[in-house]
Structure 1
Amino acid sequence: MKIKSFLAKPLAAIIHKSIKKGMLSAVDDQEAILKTLLKVGRNTQFGKDVNLAQVHNYQEFKQAVAVKDYEQIKPYIELIKEGKHNILWKGVPAYFAKTSGTTSGTKYIPITKDSIPNHINSARNALLSYMAETGNTRFADGNMIFLSGSPVLERIADIPTGRLSGIVNHHVPRYLRKNQLPSYETNCIEDWETKLNKIVDETINKNMTLISGIPPWMQMYFDEIMRRTGKNISEVFPNFSVLVHGGVNFEPYKAKLFQSIGKKLDSIETYPASEGFFAFQDSQEAEGLLLNTNSGIFFEFVPVSEIHNDNPTRLSLADVKVGENYAIIISSNAGLWGYNIGDTVKFVSTNPYRIVVTGRIKHYISAFGEHVIGEEVEHSLLKAADEENVRITEFTVAPFVSEGEGRSYHEWFIEFENKPGDMQAFAQKVDQNLRKKNVYYDDLISGNILQPLKLTAVKKNAFIDYMKSIGKLGGQNKVPRLSNDRKIANELEKWAE
């Protein structure tokens, strides 16, 4: 056993014990975080605007601070960009995380000195929890891929600004630097295909033990490794034992990733975003991700059916229920207040508080009043694929609105690894699965308002080629599972078989 894996064992035990203790105090920790936020926030411009000095508890907080999206905090962000201090949080942000918005264009999310530990320690805690539970510390001695966006940061109002993963790259602990791949120079490459080839060059002959990234990126990396070597990944990297993933639901990619690896190995799911690191998988046995209840973020939950209401029901952690679909609202020591991050989650446990991510508020189909969400389409497709021994590479769903004769329908664009023998029968299975999951969709089909879904198979690498065509190949970019319009669908028709 080498020094890093040896030293990791006692540290993992200490951190894991602390996490277990935090499971029991989650509600109290949330109350303490809200008090701390209010104490700091009342001296900011935002705090003065909403009179936080007169807020002393959660009920008063809900009255003072409305649920808001980026457009509603943008005026404050603009003040920070002008060089003003004490706007959303004390002083000025340490960084701006630059991210794309569907309606707001480029968004600048503040990361403060106080919020940096949330991003760094949460990733560390996920790995240490895994070590403590499984006893596997050997991977700490090998090479690990922590792929990031470019760590080269621009400055806005003298605030370093870039992609979250590029910012986090500057805070990788020193003891991991020697193990980390790819090199800083390679991470700075903007063109994804050039970058991917350099990553393969730098890693193909290394002792890779941990690989992390979003699943579509990892699959492209694995494909290139296999193309060059003619071997599966476990043959190229025999000591590869841990796969860390996040950013999208793992299930649609899982079968093909493990087929490429050539064996089943442990995986760790994380839930990071520019706005905060919200949850991580703390156990290989338990379902769901442990909510980060003591990391500078105060969570609220709004029933998804009410998220567009002027005055939606807002629940603190103490009042959530298992199985309900909620939109996440956060207030944090990054200076976000009542901020709707756009994700939907469902609690699978409240002792401890564990969640699964069910989709995006804006990524749904309700062109006909069906309210279909990401969790439902993924379940419907993967259940049929599993029964038919079919492997899916990627997919997306869009409405087709009939303007003449004939009924409207959902069109599913699917890239298959291997196709079903009977495409029509497969489509019918997927449709039946979705009808069982979503009563509104079932009513529309049974009422002859919609016809059953139509399935359009696309050529190999169609989704990669589409992302390349819009300049969003690689990094943290991914194709939405669901759309309410035909923008993506019309482009993908170019690659239909």
Structure 2
Amino acid sequence: MKFKSFLAKPFASYVYKQVKRSMQTAVNDQDAIFRELLKVGAATQFGKDHHFGEISGPEEFRQAVPVRDYELLKPYIELVKEGKHNVLWKGKPIYFAKTSGTTSGVKYIPISKESIPNHINSARNALLCYMAESGNAAFANGNMIFLSGSPELERIAGIPTGRLSGIVNHHVPSYLRKNQLPSYETNCIEDWETKLDKIVDETINRNMTLISGIPPWVQMYFDRLMERSGKKVGELFPDFSILVHGGVNFEPYKAKLFESIGRPLAAIETFPASEGFFAFQDSQHAEGLLLNTNSGIWFEFIPVGEVFSENPTRLGLRDVKIGENYAMIITSNAGLWSYNLGDTIRFVSTDPYRIVVSGRIKHFISAFGEHVIGEEVEYSLMKAATETGVHITEFTVAPVISQDRGKSYHEWLIEFENLPEDMNAFSIKVNENLRKKNIYYDDLIRGNILLPLKITSVRKNGFIDYMKSIGKLGGQNKVPRLSNDRKLAEALGPWLEN
């Protein structure tokens, strides 16, 4: 056994036991985190504005602090950017995570001294839980790669600012630095395709044991490796044993990724964001991701149907139910208070608390009251694809609205790896799957308000070329699965099949 894996095993066992213990104390840990956040927050400008000193419990907090998104938090962020102290959290943030918002333009998410361990340790714990459960420690001896943004940081009011993945890159433990690829210089390249070629140069002849990133960009990396070597990725890297992924639902990409690898291996799912690292897959044998209930974040959950209500129901961890879709609201030791992430989750277990990410609040179609969400379209498409042997590269869905009754429909813009033998039959399968999944959509079809969905083929690499055209190729960028308008569908026009 090599030195690193030898040392890692007892540490993995120790962390795994800690994680197991935290499963049993989740509700109590959440209560303690709430009290600590309130205590520290009382001395901040936000806390004074919202009378934290008069709050004694969660219900009073909910009355005093309404749910807000980035746009409503922005005035406080601007004060921090002007150099003010003790605005949202004590002192000043140690970083700003810079991220693109759909409605707010560029967002600057504060990361504090107290919150940075959440980002670092959660990723570590995911790997150590796998190591302890599986006994596989050998990957610690090989090379590891995370397909990430540039680690170069600018400064705003003296605060280092950049992409979260670039910030985290500065906190990779020294004992893993020699194992980490690509090089710092390559990671700093902004153009994704230039960077990808350099990554291939640096890794193609190395002993890669762990590969991590957002699935569509991992697939691009695999494609380049296979083009260059003429081999499947699993053959090229015989010791490659772990694929770590997050950011988007894995299912639409899973078949093609594993076909590119050419053999089975472990996959570990994570749920990180600039605002925090919320959950990770702690077991290869249990459904869902373990919610990070003891890591500086206090969680609330709003039933999806109430998200846009003036006074939505806000549930704590002890009150959630299995199978319901919730919007996830966080209050954190980075100074985010009742912050609406925009993500929806569903609990698959409450002992311990495990979740699946079901979609985005803003990524839905409800042009006719159907409120179709990401989880439903992904299930409907992938079920049809699995049954017919079709592989999907990428897709998005948008409404086509007609003034004539019974002429409107959902348009599915799909890039196929291999086309269905009978496109009409495939469309019918997808449509029937969605009808079974969403009763409102089914009612609209039955009532002749909507036509069955229609599929438009996107040419090979069409989504990649579109993302390149808007400067969002690679890194942490993702194609929205659903839109309630036709902006994305129309922008894809140049890349549709004739």
1:149 and 1:163 in contact (8 A); partners too: yes
Kindly indicate whether residue 67 of structure 2 is the aligned counterpart of residue 67 of structure 1. Answer: yes
Structural mapping, 1:399-438, within 5 Å: 399-403=399-403, 407-438=407-438
1:147 and 1:181 in contact (8 A); partners too: no
SS in 1 for 2:21: helix
Aligned partners of 1:15 and 1:405: how far apart in 2?
60
- Shift of residue 229, structure 1, vs aligned partner: 1.0
Structural mapping, 1:376-391, within 5 Å: 376-391=376-391
Matched residue type, 2:289? L
Matched residue type, 2:23? M
Count of aligned residue pairs for this structure pair: 497
Aligned partner of 1:485 in structure 2 is 485
Aligned partner of 1:50 in structure 2 is 50
TM-score normalized by the length of structure 1: 0.99
Kindly indicate whether residue 251 of structure 2 is the aligned counterpart of residue 251 of structure 1. Answer: yes
Aligned partners of 1:83 and 1:414: how far apart in 2?
47
Kindly indicate whether residue 118 of structure 2 is the aligned counterpart of residue 126 of structure 1. Answer: no
Q: Deviations over 1:411-448 (max 9, x none)?
A: 00111111111000100000000000001101111100
Aligned partner of 1:170 in structure 2 is 170
Aligned partners of 1:38 and 1:450: how far apart in 2?
49
- Shift of residue 403, structure 1, vs aligned partner: 4.2
1:328 and 1:340 in contact (8 A); partners too: yes
Aligned partner of 2:109 in structure 1 is 109
SS in 2 for 1:340: strand
SS in 2 for 1:293: coil
Aligned partners of 2:458 and 2:35: how far apart in 1?
53
Matched residue type, 1:420? P
2:392 and 2:418 in contact (8 A); partners too: yes
Matched residue type, 1:201? D
- Shift of residue 493, structure 1, vs aligned partner: 2.5
Structural mapping, 1:335-350, within 5 Å: 335-350=335-350
Aligned partner of 2:227 in structure 1 is 227
Aligned partner of 1:269 in structure 2 is 269
Structure 2, gaps ≥5 residues long: none
Aligned partners of 1:159 and 1:88: how far apart in 2?
15
Q: Deviations over 1:22-49 (max 9, x none)?
A: 0000000000000000110000000000
Aligned partners of 1:219 and 1:425: how far apart in 2?
28
Q: Deviations over 1:351-410 (max 9, x none)?
A: 000000000000000111110000000000000011111111111000011245861000
SS in 1 for 2:492: helix
- Shift of residue 228, structure 1, vs aligned partner: 0.8
Aligned partner of 1:18 in structure 2 is 18
Structure 1, gaps ≥5 residues long: none
Q: Deviations over 1:312-347 (max 9, x none)?
A: 000000000000000000000000000000000000
2:147 and 2:217 in contact (8 A); partners too: no
SS in 2 for 1:62: helix
2:119 and 2:276 in contact (8 A); partners too: yes
Aligned partner of 1:300 in structure 2 is 300
Aligned partners of 1:247 and 1:396: how far apart in 2?
16
Structural mapping, 1:69-468, within 5 Å: 69-403=69-403, 407-468=407-468
- Shift of residue 72, structure 1, vs aligned partner: 1.0
Aligned-residue CA RMSD (Å): 0.8
Aligned partners of 2:57 and 2:123: how far apart in 1?
31
Aligned partners of 1:321 and 1:228: how far apart in 2?
49
Aligned partners of 1:160 and 1:496: how far apart in 2?
41
Aligned partners of 2:494 and 2:188: how far apart in 1?
32
SS in 2 for 1:283: coil
- Shift of residue 218, structure 1, vs aligned partner: 0.5
SS in 2 for 1:418: coil
SS in 2 for 1:152: coil
Deviates more, 1:485-494 or 1:472-481: 485-494
TM-score normalized by the length of structure 2: 0.99
Aligned partner of 2:9 in structure 1 is 9
Aligned partners of 1:290 and 1:445: how far apart in 2?
38
Aligned partner of 1:469 in structure 2 is 469
- Shift of residue 460, structure 1, vs aligned partner: 0.6
Deviates more, 1:213-222 or 1:400-409: 400-409
Matched residue type, 1:478? K
- Shift of residue 71, structure 1, vs aligned partner: 1.1
Aligned partners of 1:385 and 1:493: how far apart in 2?
24
Matched residue type, 1:387? E
2:147 and 2:214 in contact (8 A); partners too: no
Aligned partners of 2:331 and 2:458: how far apart in 1?
42
SS in 2 for 1:367: coil
Aligned partners of 2:229 and 2:59: how far apart in 1?
61
- Shift of residue 59, structure 1, vs aligned partner: 1.3
SS in 1 for 2:210: strand
Runs of 4+, deviation exceeding 6 Å = none
Kindly indicate whether residue 27 of structure 2 is the aligned counterpart of residue 27 of structure 1. Answer: yes
SS in 1 for 2:379: helix
Aligned partners of 1:106 and 1:237: how far apart in 2?
38
1:120 and 1:168 in contact (8 A); partners too: yes
SS in 2 for 1:345: strand
- Shift of residue 225, structure 1, vs aligned partner: 0.4
Aligned partners of 1:43 and 1:463: how far apart in 2?
48
SS in 2 for 1:459: coil
2:405 and 2:448 in contact (8 A); partners too: no
Percent of aligned pairs with the same amino acid = 76
Aligned partners of 1:176 and 1:401: how far apart in 2?
53
Matched residue type, 1:52? F
